Each structure stands twice: as structure tokens, then as C-alpha cells.
Amino acid sequence: MIATVLYFVFLRSAVVEGALNPWAEGSASGGDCFCEAFLPNSTFPIGQLISLENTAVEINYKLELEISKVEMYEVKLQVYIAKITNLTVLIELMERDPDSYNELQLEEVKIQIKQVEALIVELKASIQTSSTVLISIRQQISVVIAVLTELEITYDKNLVLVTRREYIILQQKLEECERRHDELFNPDIGICTHSGIRRISKPIISQLNADLTSSYAYGGWGKDSKPMPGSENMYWYSASSDTTVNRIIQYSDYYKLIMRQPFKIHSLYVQYNYDRRGTGNNYVVRENTMYYQFRSPFAMAKWNMTSATIEYKVVPEASTQFSYHYSANQNLDFAGDESGLWVTYATAESKGKLVLGRINEESFEVEEVWQTSIFKPSVGNTFMVCGVLYATRSVDSKTEEIFYTFDTRTEQESYVSIPFEKFQEFYAYLDYNPTDQKLYMFNNGYYVAYHVWFNHEGSLTGE
Ligand SMILES: *[C@@H]1O[C@H](CO)[C@@H](O)[C@H](O)[C@H]1NC(C)=O
Ligand SMILES: *[C@@H]1O[C@H](CO)[C@@H](O)[C@H](O)[C@H]1NC(C)=O
Ligand SMILES: *[C@@H]1O[C@H](CO)[C@@H](O)[C@H](O)[C@H]1NC(C)=O
């Protein structure tokens, strides 16, 4: 009898939502309530889904507002640039022929310069505020996507699908808004006139990896650092439950990545008696080619995903004795930046101190090396930006910091402190991508990214 009532309760709560309290119906049967034993764990919380859909409407409204602001900034910036151009022309004229201008005209130009200056300060402040809003929207979406992923794993995937689609569309809209915003804020993608990293954003959590398991903690994700024409939006992902690199998966864009719809899965497993697997999760993708640490023999490998061919090269000095702080087997770490392809490792001769090498992309040889003074096992990870090596270390379970830089252009090293927040403590992958100036981290199985801000002394976006 009680079982029948409870079954009815289950049916209703499955249809209506968790908000309809099954306990009320259970008590109505008159007896003691021991519903717990009968209630299936798979009762779908429709109420939660409805609330997530309402949140989508809210986020969309906020996003539309930000998009209109970005449009306004773009117009304003164009007007200011025109004003500055006019003033520059006028000042040149005055300089050439100072005698034909009077005091009053000079004063007028000075006032105009002051006005443009004030407008730029104002615009800078608005862009900064807007940037904070975009990051908070990004985080709000990430939280919902995480909840949806959880619902998808626990309950029925199909029920979640529509809501998930809505959020992915929001994410794409946000991505586009961020791109336009970044162009205003960071009009220098690919340019190296800045003097290094100033600040790193809060972590932007995209979602749990495509295998939907946090036991796949050893992996990486990102974009091509030198994309072939037409594959600028491509994302790649690779992960495993240990440090072995078995495969790499490619997605045509962000939407496909989040929907877990790859266009290509490249297996590196043994084929025709040839084991192409890697280890250590410190790969990069550049020109549709994956550079990674070959497992056997210990070497750097180049897996051309266009031609599906492989090449490997032993680096005689590199040692397998020294890995990074967080994970084993990270002996060769690849990085791609604005200026080329790089590899770091440690040598027995240097007793574990990190060595940085530049790889010649044509010959696939390490053509130049620099010795740093940092001990590799105490380093969290490294990445390259504009020919400068950045090394991180753990501060505490929630904080990581860039503590060291080595500039290959000046051969200068320096100890710095640029802290940034971690989503979760353990991470197996960190790299910079020069095409969007973002850091990509594989953080305990989650796709995490960061915006990077650079020092631009005396420029519009600098401090
Ligand atoms: C229901 O399932 C979820 C996800 O598998 C689990 O975390 C939770 O402990 C389960 N609850 C009960 C009461 O079994
Ligand atoms: C720049 O100068 C031209 C010609 O003198 C003028 O027509 C235009 O309005 C000026 N633009 C601004 C933004 O001041
Ligand atoms: C990969 O292979 C294609 C086709 O053979 C070739 O055109 C391309 O240059 C190769 N890429 C690299 C990075 O070697």
C-alpha cells in the first residue's frame, strides 16, 4: 500500500518537480514515513531546470546590455581617434609656422588636448567596468554549465539538452562580445611591444572534460597557436587517468567542444607494431601539428595531424629525472608563442635546473638553449609569451603565482610575483595561446582559461 502511494509520489515528483514535496503525500497515507527507502535517486529535478532557464533569460539581458555598450565604445573610440588625428595635424602645422598662430589659438589647442585626454580616461574606466561584468557573466554561465553537466550525468541527458543548448548559445554570444571587447582593450594581439604580464584574470571555467570524468585529471586543452587558414576556431583536447598520452581530439569550434562533437579523434595507440603514445601532458598544437613528449624512446615528437605522420628527435642532454611539481613524467614541456616553438627540460649536468630551448620549426631541431637558475621540481609549470619564459609555483591550494621570468631577447632573468586564483588545486597543463592572449589550464579534469593583461607603459590600456 505504502509502496503504491510512494510510486504515485515518485511519478508526480518526476513530472512536476522536486518542489512538490513527496513527504506530504507520504504522510497522507497515515503511517510512519519511511519514504527514503523507496524513493528512486533518479527523480528529475525539473524545478531546478526551470530556474536555470529563467537564469538564461536574465543572463541574456545582461549580455545584450554589454554588447550595446561595446558597440558604443567602438563608436566613441573612432571619434577620439579622429580628434587625435586632427589635433596632430594642427600641432604639426603650428610647429612648422609658429609665428602665424597667436596665444589664443595655442590655448584653444591645449584645451582640446585636455578634453580628449579626459575622454580617454573616462572610456578606459568604462571598459574596465565592462570587463569585470563580462567576467562575472562568464562565471555565472560556467556554474550553470557545471550544474547541467552534473544533471546530465545523474539523470536523463535528453531533458537537459534544450537548456544546455541555450547556455551554449549564450556562451557563444559572450565569446563574441569578449572578442570585440578585447580588441578595444587589447588591440595588440600578436604584437610584442608590451613589457610583460601585469595581471591574470580569475579562472574562467568552461566545463568538465569531454569524457565527463574528473578521474581524467591528466590532460590538456586549447587552440592551435599558429592556426592554418580556416581553423582559427578549432579546439583540441586530450586526457587520460594517468600520464600516458593516448589520443588527441579536435573540435571545429567552441560549441562543438562543449557539445562533445569532435570532427577528428587521432589515436596514438600501437598501430602496425608502432607505439606512438606520449607521456607527461605538456603538448601544444601548432599548424595542426601536435608536439609532445614521446614515451619510448624518450624524445620530442611531432605528430602532423594533416598528413597523419610522425617524426621524433632525441634531445641528448634532456633528463627524465626531473618533472614539474604537480605531475610525473613532465620532462619535456612544449610551448608556442608569438615568436615560435619552444621546449623546456632539465639536465643531469645542471642538477635539475630548467633549460629553455628554441625549436627550429623547419628542421625540428633544438637550435638555441638558455640555462635558467630555477629548480624544475619546484616549478608548477611554464609557458612562453613573446620570447619570455614564465614559471609558476604553488602558493596554497587556491593560489598559484608566476614567480620567475626569463627573457630570451635580453637573456635577463628576474624573480617576480604575479599571483592568480586556481579553480582546483591540482593541474596537469598550463600554456599560453598567442592568438587570443589567453592561458589554458587543465585543472583536475576541468577546462579552465584566463585572460592575460600586459604592461603597456604610457598607452591607452596601460597603467
Ligand atoms: C543520488 O545520486 C547522486 C549522484 O550519483 C549521489 O551523489 C547521491 O549521493 C545520491 N543520493 C542518494 C540518496 O543515494
Ligand atoms: C577633423 O577636421 C575636419 C576638417 O577640419 C573636420 O571636418 C572634422 O569634423 C574634424 N573631426 C573631429 C572629430 O574633430
Ligand atoms: C604537415 O603535413 C602537411 C602535408 O604533408 C604539410 O603541408 C605541412 O607543412 C606539415 N606541417 C608541419 C608543421 O610540418
Per-residue pLDDT of 361-402, as tens digits, reads 999 999 999 999 999 999 999 999 999 999 999 999 999 999
Q: How far is residue 265's CA from residue 456's CA, in Å, rounded to a whole number?
A: 41
Give the residue from 189, 187, 185 showing the smallest Cα distance to 437: 189
| pLDDT for the residue 41 | 53
Q: Residue 30, by phi and psi: left (phi above 0), alpha (psi -120 to 50) or beta? A: left
Q: Ligand 2: distance of its center to the CA of 67 in Å? A: 28
Q: How far is residue 69's CA from residue 115's CA, in Å, rounded to a whole number?
A: 21
Q: Ligand 1: distance of its center to the CA of 41 in Å? A: 6
CATH topology of domain 191-454: Neuraminidase (2.120.10)
Give the residue from 237, 359, 225 showing the smallest Cα distance to 288: 225
**Ligand 3 atom 4 nearest Cα:** 307
The number of the ligand nearest the C-alpha atom of 42 reads 1
Per-residue pLDDT of 4-55, as tens digits, reads 333 333 333 333 333 333 333 333 344 444 434 444 556 777 888 888 888 8
Give the residue from 228, 210, 231, 227 showing the smallest Cα distance to 219: 210
The residues, ordered by sequence, that sit 6+ positions from 227 with a Cβ below 8 Å of its Cβ are 234, 287, 288, 435
Q: Choose between 336 and 210: higher pLDDT.
A: 336
| pLDDT for the residue 38 | 44
Encode 208-247: b = buried (16+ Cβ within 10 Å), e = exposed: bbbbeeeebbbbbbbbbbbbeeebebbbbbbbbeebbbeb
Q: Residue 391, by phi and psi: left (phi above 0), alpha (psi -120 to 50) or beta? A: beta
For the chain, which residues make up each domain, given as ranges?
A: 5-38, 46-184, 191-454
β-bridge partners, 413: 406
Per-residue pLDDT of 184-211, as tens digits, reads 766 678 889 889 999 998 888 878 888 8
| pLDDT for the residue 12 | 33
The arithmetic mean of pLDDT across residues 401-419, rounded, is: 97
| pLDDT for the residue 374 | 97
CA distances from 319 to 4, 280, 315, 429, 457 (A): 68, 13, 9, 20, 40
Q: How far is residue 421's CA from residue 334's CA, in Å, rounded to a whole number?
A: 23
CA atoms within 13 A on the CB side of 433: 28
Average confidence score pLDDT of the chain: 85
Question: Mapping DSSP to helix (H, G, I), strand (E, B) and coil, where does residue 304 land?
Answer: strand
| pLDDT for the residue 97 | 84
Ligand 1 binding pocket (C-beta < 6 A) is 41, 154
Q: Which residue type occupies 249? A: I
Q: Ligand 1: distance of its center to the CA of 168 in Å? A: 27
Q: Tell me the best of 80, 84, 86, 87 to mutate to test the pocket of ligand 2, counting ligand atoms within 8 Å of each CB and taking the most.
A: 86
Q: How far is residue 204's CA from residue 217's CA, in Å, rounded to a whole number?
A: 18
The helix or strand, by DSSP H or E, that contains position 18, with its residue range, turns out to be none
CA atoms within 13 A on the CB side of 300: 30
Q: Ligand 3: distance of its center to the CA of 316 in Å? A: 25
pLDDT band at residue 272, thresholds of 50, 70 and 90?
low
The helix or strand, by DSSP H or E, that contains position 78, with its residue range, turns out to be helix 46-96
| pLDDT above 90: percentage of residues in the chain | 48
Ligand 2 binding pocket (C-beta < 6 A) is 79, 82-83, 86
| pLDDT for the residue 16 | 34
Q: What is the pTM for the complete model shown? A: 0.68
| Strand ranges across the sheet with 399-407 | 382-385, 388-396, 399-407, 412-421
Q: Ligand 2: distance of its center to the CA of 115 in Å? A: 15
> Where is average pLDDT lowest: 13-22, 62-71, 207-216?
13-22
Per-residue pLDDT of 82-130, as tens digits, reads 888 888 888 888 888 888 888 888 888 888 888 888 888 888 888 888 8
Q: 15 with 21: CB under 8 angstroms?
A: no
CA 168 vs. chain centroid, Å, equals: 16
Q: Ligand 1: distance of its center to the CA of 154 in Å? A: 8
CA distances from 451 to 30, 197, 208, 332, 454 (A): 59, 11, 19, 25, 10
- Cell numbers that stand for 273 in this block: 607494431
Q: Tell me the best of 43, 154, 214 to mutate to test the pocket of ligand 1, counting ligand atoms within 8 Å of each CB and taking the most.
A: 154
How many residues does this entry show for the chain?
463
Taking the alpha carbons at both ends of the chain, their separation in whole angstroms is 73
Exposed/middle/buried for residue 299 (C-beta within 10 Å: 0-12, 13-18, 19+): middle
Q: Ligand 1: distance of its center to the CA of 14 in Å? A: 16
Q: 440 with 451: CB under 8 angstroms?
A: no
Give the residue from 318, 350, 348, 351 showing the smallest Cα distance to 334: 318
> Where is average pLDDT lowest: 55-59, 88-92, 269-273, 441-445?
269-273
Q: Choose between 328 and 209: higher pLDDT.
A: 328
Angle CA 381–431–183, to nearest 5: 140
Question: Mapping DSSP to helix (H, G, I), strand (E, B) and coil, where does residue 305 land?
Answer: coil
- Please state whether beta strands 438-443 and 446-454 pair in parallel, antiparallel, or not at all (unpaired): antiparallel
Q: 279 with 244: CB under 8 angstroms?
A: yes
Ligand 3 in contact with 115 (CB < 6 A)? no
